Amino acid sequence: GCARDWDGLTCWPRATFGEVVKIPCPRFFEEFTSFLQRNCTREELWSEPFPPYSVACGFDEGSSKEPEDQKSYYSAFWRVYTAGYAASVASLITALIVFAAFRKFHCTRNYIHMHLFVSFILRAVAVFTKDAVLFADETMDHCLMSTVACKAAVAFFQFSILANFFWLLIEGIYLQTLLLLTFVSNKKFVWWFIFAGWGAPAAVMFAWVLTRIHQQNTGCWDDDENGVVLWIIKGPILLTVLINFIIFINVIRILVHKLKSQEGGGSHSSHFVRLAKSTLLLIPLFGVHYIVFAFFPESTGLEARLYIELGLGSFQGFVVALLYCFSNAEVSSE
C-alpha cells in the first residue's frame, strides 16, 4: 500500500491499495471542521487531497497567511519567548546565588523560594531542549519522528510545568501556615515540602509516561488526540490552581482580620505581610489563565494562548526573582 506521508501541513497514515483515507483539517485551521480525503492508487502513490485545502480548510495560498508569513509570525514569537526565558534564567540564577551566598538568608522561607526558582529554570531549559530536539531541523518528517530523544524532551517539558505549579502551591501553603501558626518551628516542614514539590510531579509524570507507552505511543508525545491521557497532566495542574485560589481568598481574609484587630503591628508581622504581598500577587498571575483555557480544546484561542503562555509566560521567572529577591528590603540592605 501507501506509506505514511507528510504533505507539509498534515500527516497521512499508511493505507492499503485502493483505500480512501479521511482525516480532519489540521488543528491550526481552528475555524474549520471539514475533512480531507486521499486515495491510495493502484501505483501505490497518494492522490492529491480532495477537496483541496483551499476549499476544505479555507487555506488560500495567495492570502497574507501563506506559509512564509506564518513562518515569519511564529519566528517572531520564538524570538520573544527565547529572550523572555533567557532573562528569566539569568535573573533566577543570580537570585539563587544571592540566597546561597549569604547565611542570613538561609531559612525555610528562602529554601522554598529557591526550589521555586529551580522549577522555573527547569521550565526554561525544557523549552529550549524541546525546541532544539523537535524543531531544529526544518526538513524533518513529523510523521516518522518518534524517537526516544524527542519523547524524553516532551516528558521533561511536562514535568517542569508540573513542578512549577506544585511549587507555587507550596508557596501558598507555606504562607497560610505562617499566618495561622506564627510560633511553629517550621524547619520540620521543609523536607515534607521538598518531597511534595518534586515527588508529586514525578509520580504524575510516571503515570503519564506509562499511559502514553501503553495507550498512545504515537509521534513525539506532543499531540493531544486522547483527551483522557492529556488530563493526567491537566488534572493535577488544575487542582493546584484551584487550591491556591482558595488559599488566596483565605489569606486575604486572615490579613484583613489581623489588620482590623491591630495584630499586624511590629516588624515580625510586617515581614509576613511583605511575603503575603509577593505570594498573593503570584497566585492570580500564574493561575487565572490556566483556568480560563483548561476546559477548552488545545486549538481554541490559539493566538491568545501564544501571547499569554509564550509571550508573557516566558518572563514569569524574571517576575518571581524580582518579587522574592531583588525587591526584597533585606536583600537590598545586605
- Of 70, 28, 11, 65, which Cα lies nearest the Cα of 298? 28
Sign of CA dihedral 165, 171, 176, 177: positive
- Do 181 and 230 lie in one domain? The reply is yes
User: 158 pLDDT exceeds 80?
Assistant: yes
- Whether residue 307 is contained in a domain is answered as yes
Q: pLDDT tens for residues 300-327? A: 556 666 666 666 778 888 888 888 888 8
Check residue 63 and give its pLDDT.
47
C-alpha cell at 119: 522549577
- Domain residues for 51? 5-57
Q: Which of 57, 78, 94 is the last residue of a domain?
A: 57
Number of independent structural domains in the chain: 2
CATH number for the domain spanning 26: value is: 4.10.1240.10
- Whether residue 66 is contained in a domain is answered as no
Q: pLDDT tens for residues 41-81? A: 877 688 888 887 777 776 655 444 454 555 666 677 788 88
Cα 23 to chain centroid distance, Å, stands at 29
Q: Determine the 3-state secondary structure of 6 from DSSP.
A: strand
Q: Partners of 11 in the beta sheet? A: 6
Q: pLDDT tens for residues 258-294? A: 666 655 445 455 555 666 666 666 665 566 556 655 5
By DSSP bridging, strand 20-24 and strand 11-12 are: unpaired
- Do 48 and 91 lie in one domain? The reply is no
More confident residue, 280 or 154: 154
How sure is the predictor about 223, in pLDDT bands with cuts at 50, 70 and 90? low
- Do 116 and 161 lie in one domain? The reply is yes
Q: Which residues does 226 contact at the CB level (< 8 Å), separation at least 6?
A: 215, 216
- Do 35 and 104 lie in one domain? The reply is no
- Do 229 and 189 lie in one domain? The reply is yes
Rounded to whole angstroms, the Cα distance separating 239 from 122 reads 21
Q: pLDDT tens for residues 103-141? A: 888 888 888 889 999 999 999 999 899 888 877 666 665
- Whether residue 46 is contained in a domain is answered as yes
Q: Determine the 3-state secondary structure of 23 from DSSP.
A: strand
- Do 148 and 22 lie in one domain? The reply is no
